[in-house]
């Protein structure tokens, strides 16, 4: 595919459910999983005479996320009615924000797995209410609708068309999600629908200034699906243009089973939303004191924490990013390092070894029997040459299983590293005598002859010999022969 002729332009629209106890404009519960249509009021239905009242918690949560993604907070807030006719919307309009959004002009700096860094500008983040949920599956002769979700507060976060690759989109979503989770105002679960993403994408010849015609992809149920659907669209749009056709502006649906996008509706069917100010909610001012107060309540966010980890612990950017993307992992890591572990080792052992074992057991760090202090102790025992790395790897699964301290396990199983030079010297002599062929190979300059002998030493000591001393001893004895 001649895709090097074109460049890709991507913009993402993310909807995040704010974890308030009641809805955006009424007292209905927002609890997930309740019986359909048991969590509604006359306000969610927009019945005559009902009046919406803004949920202050939702406003505060929205401001906190907006601050977390470096947005400016509006001085004045206004809500608008956005009209469309669809059974998921009982009022036939959604209360949203049109020309005076809650916040604007933010950004997130993201780095991909391949160390590709980019600043993604955020155009706006505004408050709106969610719609109900249609169920086309469980009834054969029609669709069902559940209005429990209608009126749940959402923050819609819209980027500028700054992203250039599916990997950048993936990295942006990952950082956005972990930022919001650190703030603790949404669980950001794509499976439960508390985070939803629509992806806009176009291509244009390299060097062209104006944007190409975009398509919008909906029905994305994971960050991986976002990245895959974008790649699919890049290939599809490139093919369309290469064959002399034009890309049609349209909304497309991602089919995860078939791993492709299909047309949902074209621009001709696009909505005219007839926005106008919501007359039942008067515009109001957000005081700067309130914004400052909410800012003070923010925890250290992943981006800042990543920078601190790089500086304080000399970690690579990628390692730091992996650690901070989950708050519990990062907290665990800090306790481990603060109780004496080497930062680089702690990072490797936590993310590769410990999380590897836990993943295989389908467990999480949260209920893990290995405390960060005890992992730190294991690593320090390696540093002090009480055990070597091989033995440490044997011990860790037992620590996960039993919660026992590494010291106890080593004592009980007699696993202390053998560093007694006299003893090892004796053993080295025996092994050399028993393997004349390897000695010959060594004299002939064959480098791996020595690793064979090291292996024999480790075998004899059941893996407990200090590998550095063994190496040194063998080198010395052999060169003296």
12 binds ligand ADP (CB under 6 A): yes
Rounded to whole angstroms, the Cα distance separating 285 from 25 reads: 18
Of the residues 11, 46, 68, 166, which one makes contact with ligand ADP according to CB under 6 A? 11
- Segment near ligand ADP (CB under 6 A), from 68-76, 103-111, 167-175, 206-214? 206-214
Of the residues 202, 325, 417, 438, which one makes contact with ligand ADP according to CB under 6 A? 202
Of the residues 46, 151, 161, 343, which one makes contact with ligand ADP according to CB under 6 A? 161
> Per DSSP, what are the bridge partners of residue 332?
none
Binding mask 107-146 for ligand ADP (x = CB under 6 A): ----------------------------------------
418 binds ligand ADP (CB under 6 A): no
3-class DSSP string for the chain: CCHHHEEEEEEEEEEEECCCCECCCCCCECCCCCCCCCCCCHHHHCCCCCCCCCCHHHHHHHHHHHHHCCCEECCEECCEEEECCCCCCCCCEEEECCCCCCEEEEEEEEECCCCCEEEEEEEEEEEEECCCEEECCCCCCCCEEEHHHCCCEEEEEEECCCECCHHHHHHHHHHHHHHHHHHCCCCCCCCCCCEEEEEEEEEEECCCCCCCCCEEEECCCCHHHHHHHHHHHHHHHHHHHHCCCCCCCEEEEEECCCCEEEEEEEHHHCCCCCCEECCCCCCEECCHHHHHHHHHCCCCCHHHHHHHHHHHHCCCHHHHHHHHCCHHHHHHHHHHHHCCCCHHHHHHHHHHHHHHHHHHCCCCHHHCCCCHHHHHHHHHHHHCCCCCHHHHHHHHHHHHHHCCCHHHHHHHCCCCCECCHHHHHHHHHHHHHHCHHHHHHHHCCCCHHHHHHHHHHHHHCCCCECHHHHHHHHHHHHHHC
- Segment near ligand ADP (CB under 6 A), from 197-205, 225-233, 291-299, 320-328? 197-205
- Size of site (CB under 6 A) for ligand ADP: 15
Of the residues 47, 211, 262, 434, which one makes contact with ligand ADP according to CB under 6 A? 211
Nearer to ligand ADP, 214 or 464 (CB): 214
Minimum CB separation of residue 213 from ligand ADP in Å reads 7
Nearer to ligand ADP, 13 or 460 (CB): 13
- Segment near ligand ADP (CB under 6 A), from 84-92, 96-104, 141-149, 198-206? 198-206
- Segment near ligand ADP (CB under 6 A), from 210-218, 294-302, 415-423, 444-452? 210-218
Binding mask 44-83 for ligand ADP (x = CB under 6 A): ----------------------------------------
Minimum CB separation of residue 38 from ligand ADP in Å reads 33
- Locate tokens 């990952």: which residue? 174
Catalogue the long-range contacts made by 170-173 (C-beta closer than 8 Å, 24 or more residues apart): 170/112, 170/223, 170/224, 170/226, 170/227, 171/110, 171/111, 171/112, 171/113, 172/12, 172/108, 172/110, 172/120, 173/12, 173/14, 173/197, 173/223, 173/226
Of the residues 118, 158, 358, 450, which one makes contact with ligand ADP according to CB under 6 A? 158
Of the residues 81, 149, 177, 214, which one makes contact with ligand ADP according to CB under 6 A? 214
Q: How many CB atoms lie within 10 A of CB 476?
A: 11
Nearer to ligand ADP, 81 or 82 (CB): 82
- Segment near ligand ADP (CB under 6 A), from 39-47, 171-179, 184-192, 196-204? 196-204
183 binds ligand ADP (CB under 6 A): no
416 binds ligand ADP (CB under 6 A): no
- Segment near ligand ADP (CB under 6 A), from 4-12, 271-279, 338-346, 387-395? 4-12
106 binds ligand ADP (CB under 6 A): no
159 binds ligand ADP (CB under 6 A): yes
34 binds ligand ADP (CB under 6 A): no
9 binds ligand ADP (CB under 6 A): yes
Minimum CB separation of residue 159 from ligand ADP in Å reads 5
- Segment near ligand ADP (CB under 6 A), from 34-42, 152-160, 225-233, 448-456? 152-160
7 binds ligand ADP (CB under 6 A): no
200 binds ligand ADP (CB under 6 A): yes
Contacts with ligand ADP by CB under 6 A lie at 9-13, 158-161, 200-202, 211-212, 214
């Amino acid at each position: 595919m001649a895709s090097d002729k074109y460049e890709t332009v991507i913009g993402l629209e993310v909807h995040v459910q704010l974890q308030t106890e009641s809805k955006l404009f009424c007292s209905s519960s927002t609890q997930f999983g309740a019986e359909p249509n048991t969590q509604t009021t006359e306000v969610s239905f927009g019945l005559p005479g009902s009046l919406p009242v803004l949920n202050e918690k939702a406003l505060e949560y929205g401001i906190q996320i907006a601050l977390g993604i470096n947005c400016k907070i509006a001085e004045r807030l206004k809500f608008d009615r956005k009209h469309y006719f669809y059974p998921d919307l009982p009022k036939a309009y959604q209360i949203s924000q049109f020309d005076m959004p809650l916040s604007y002009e933010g950004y997130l700096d993201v780095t991909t797995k391949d160390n590709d860094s980019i600043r993604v500008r955020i155009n706006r983040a505004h408050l709106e209410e969610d719609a109900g949920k249609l169920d086309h599956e469980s009834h054969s002769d029609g669709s069902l609708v559940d209005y429990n979700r209608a009126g749940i507060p959402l923050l819609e976060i819209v980027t500028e068309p700054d992203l250039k690759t599916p990997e950048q989109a993936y990295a942006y979503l990952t950082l956005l999600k972990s930022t919001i989770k650190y703030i603790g105002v949404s669980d950001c679960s794509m499976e439960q629908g508390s985070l939803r993403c629509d992806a806009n994408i176009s291509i244009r010849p390299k060097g062209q200034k104006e944007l190409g015609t975009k398509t919008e992809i909906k029905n994305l149920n994971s960050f991986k699906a976002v990245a895959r659907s974008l790649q699919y669209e890049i290939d599809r749009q490139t093919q369309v243009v290469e064959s002399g056709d034009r890309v049609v502006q349209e909304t497309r649906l991602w089919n995860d089973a078939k791993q492709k996008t299909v047309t949902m509706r074209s621009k001709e069917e696009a909505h005219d939303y007839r926005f106008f100010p919501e007359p039942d909610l008067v515009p109001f001012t957000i005081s700067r004191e309130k914004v400052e107060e909410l800012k003070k309540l923010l925890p250290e966010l992943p981006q800042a924490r990543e920078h601190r980890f790089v500086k304080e612990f000399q970690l690579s950017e990628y390692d730091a990013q992996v650690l901070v993307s989950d708050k519990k992992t990062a907290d665990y890591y800090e306790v481990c390092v603060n109780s004496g572990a080497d930062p680089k080792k702690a990072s490797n052992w936590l993310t590769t070894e410990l999380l590897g074992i836990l993943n295989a057991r389908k467990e999480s760090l949260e209920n893990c029997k290995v405390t960060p202090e005890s992992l730190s102790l294991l690593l320090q025992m390696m540093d002090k040459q009480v055990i070597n790395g091989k033995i440490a790897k044997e011990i860790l699964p037992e620590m996960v299983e039993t919660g026992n301290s590494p010291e106890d396990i080593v004592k009980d199983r007699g696993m202390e590293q053998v560093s007694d030079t006299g003893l090892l010297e004796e053993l080295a002599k025996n092994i050399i005598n028993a393997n004349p062929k390897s000695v010959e190979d060594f004299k002939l300059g064959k480098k791996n002859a020595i690793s064979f002998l090291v292996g024999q030493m480790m075998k004899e000591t059941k893996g407990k010999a200090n590998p550095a001393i063994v190496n040194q001893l063998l080198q010395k004895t052999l060169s003296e022969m």
